Structure 1
Amino acid sequence: MTGHHLILGELTDAVTGEVLADSHDERYRQKVARILLSEKGYVKAEITPRVPLTAIAGKRRGKIRVAFAVSVDGRIGMIIQYGPGSLVTRHRPALAMSRLLADYQIPVAVVTNGEDVDVLDGFSGNIVGRGFDALPAREALGKIVAGSAFTPISPRRADLESRIVYCYEIDGSCPCDTDICRLDETDED
């Protein structure tokens, strides 16, 4: 099963060097990766693409991939989530991801459709910048990381955020979307 993405051939991942299926979505993710590397001053070792994240909502579980986790000084300081279409509808699930991908609040959550970018403060959820120019450069993210408390996420909050990710990203997603994996139901409530 090839999913619902038009496969245009293969391309090489700018960060890992892996050969990936060339799709319109992957071309946009690679655009973001190249900007991080060539314009924003990050090195490949600071960028982790396609980070798996399991979302649980009661007995339902699913796995998605966060487009990028960007680390500075050994801590994830920023996540970037790609999705086609409107950015506004991606704010809340990206904030939830920023509270689940590590055991602390990741300070910056970014959403992009490859053409537009919204940069969100992970703590407040407020938009702190728009456009690729607002994407924090390595030095700016280093300052944000240095000034962050990396507040732990409580188990209750993690449960609620996980349900949000499940609701927005997994429940109701296209069954042929190969970027999302529905897992067997758990025995938990």
Structure 2
Amino acid sequence: MDTLCDYVTGREVPNVGAEENRQFVEKYLVNTKGYPKGSIAVDYPLALDLDGEVYETELDLVLSVDGLPLAVIKCAAASLDSRVREAVAAARIMCSSHQIPFAAVSDGVTALVHDGISGKKIGEGLSFLPSFDELVAWKNSNTLTPLPEDRKLRQGLVFRTYDSLNVNVQRHTG
């Protein structure tokens, strides 16, 4: 199997699915948007309790400020529009303490960036991905809110439905 060296982690990863696209996004985040590599989590583990059933998966990229996750990026090979609901649902459920304010889908050439809480589109294009400084400013001037309890199961089911359709991905979870 063909492999690549992950730009952020330095580890060898299988070159399957959207991996080359993810590598481009990682380089763009570090070199253009000013992210320290330590603020980018690759293959962020996610375990959801869906009414007693545990669903384990990984999120492609999670961007943090001082260890606080504030953006999630789904990397895809094509059909970005069809991945938006998955990214927004992930933003709403990945942290029990708060919803993630930014959700994006990228193929390495462009990006669809949405407000992770409202789901509204912020913009289209890599330039709409928040810079590290913009994420710091957002953190310092906004209050994070958790997803209401009565919406957690539904959003988890939406996420699982879309995530389970992903093919050509390398999972590290059991």
Distance 2:52 2:78 in 1: 30
Structure 2 residue 133 is the aligned partner of structure 1 residue 179? no
TM-score scaled to structure 2, two decimals?
0.88
Query: Partner of 1:22 in structure 2?
Result: 15
Of 144-153 and 37-46, the range deviating more from structure 2: 144-153
Query: Partner of 1:62 in structure 2?
Result: 55
Query: Partner of 2:104 in structure 1?
Result: 110
In the alignment, residue 171 of structure 2 is paired with which amino acid? D
Residue 62 of structure 1: how far off its partner (Å): 3.0
Percent identity, aligned pairs only? Answer: 28
Distance 2:73 2:57 in 1: 13
Match 2:130 to one of 122, 136, 146:
136
Query: Partner of 2:146 in structure 1?
Result: 152
Q: Flag the structure with larger Rg.
A: 1
Gaps (5+ residues) in structure 2? Answer: none
In the alignment, residue 119 of structure 1 is paired with which amino acid? V
Residue 116 of structure 1: how far off its partner (Å): 2.2
Match 1:127 to one of 121, 124, 148:
121
Distance 2:76 2:171 in 1: 11
SS of structure 1 residue aligned to 2:108: coil
- Alpha carbons 2:51, 2:153 under 8 Å: kept: no
Gaps (5+ residues) in structure 1? Answer: 1-6, 184-189
Structure 2 residue 167 is the aligned partner of structure 1 residue 164? no
Q: Alignment length, in residue pairs?
A: 173
Residue 148 of structure 1: how far off its partner (Å): 2.3
- Taking a change above 3 Å as real, the CA distance of residues 46 and 173 of structure 1, as seen in their structure-2 partners, is closer
Match 1:88 to one of 77, 81, 86:
81
Distance 1:177 1:28 in 2: 13
In the alignment, residue 77 of structure 2 is paired with which amino acid? P
Distance 1:26 1:177 in 2: 8
- Taking a change above 3 Å as real, the CA distance of residues 154 and 117 of structure 1, as seen in their structure-2 partners, is same
In the alignment, residue 112 of structure 2 is paired with which amino acid? D
Residue 105 of structure 1: how far off its partner (Å): 0.9
Higher relative contact order (CA 8 A, sep 6+): 1
- Taking a change above 3 Å as real, the CA distance of residues 30 and 160 of structure 1, as seen in their structure-2 partners, is same
Distance 1:178 1:136 in 2: 27
Post-superposition CA distance 1:140-161 (Å, at most 9, x none): 1111222221102233322111
TM-score scaled to structure 1, two decimals?
0.81
In the alignment, residue 25 of structure 1 is paired with which amino acid? A
SS of structure 2 residue aligned to 1:99: helix
